[in-house]
A and B are shown apart, each in its own frame.
Chain A
Amino acid sequence: ILNVEQSPQSLHVQEGDSTNFTCSFPSSNFYALHWYRWETAKSPEALFVMTLNGDEKKKGRISATLNTKEGYSYLYIKGSQPEDSATYLCAFIAGGYQKVTFGTGTKLQVIP
């Protein structure tokens, strides 16, 4: 079983604050790293698909970085808004059989 960890487990921030959280994964046999956003009562949706060491992706106020050599990825949210409240999941995809292993998620609550 692959070890994929996310921290913090939960986070409360004020509207307008910037925040970031971490996903740690094995530094060997890397194929891809995904970030998903899971809003309550909805399906998880992909935010970013990252494949190369040093990748930086951005979508509006949300961005992510990837370090495959040391096995971590950061997700940043600039100027948090209430609609950013969700659980953010990372998923590590190993090479070969492309096993997809999810972290436990970071639950973000943005307080208006």
Chain B
Amino acid sequence: DTGVSQNPRHKITKRGQNVTFRCDPISEHNRLYWYRQTLGQGPEFLTYFQNEAQLEKSRLLSDRFSAERPKGSFSTLEIQRTEQGDSAMYLCASSLETSPLNGQHFGDGTRLSIL
């Protein structure tokens, strides 16, 4: 169990640029989640995959955001035309399709800073 891996750990970019983050879940986990955390808040749900299918998206996920999970393995989250309000920690989590009481395993996140 190597844990959930996220890259890059930090991303600094200018407003208007596109950014892409990657998440490698625990290998046998078929569920993958993206969350966003801003200062002083708890993580907020963005989207969820079961295998390669994106099954739920939050209203927080505007048209500028897109997430993929090709072949049901790693996932990418892309933000187009970044805005100041996109500055946040982006967290990825994975889990098996078992009881929700087993929790989700989180990566250490990608911190995005928009200049």
Is the pairing of A and B real?
Answer: no
Give me the interface of A with B, judged by CB distance under 8 Å. Answer: none
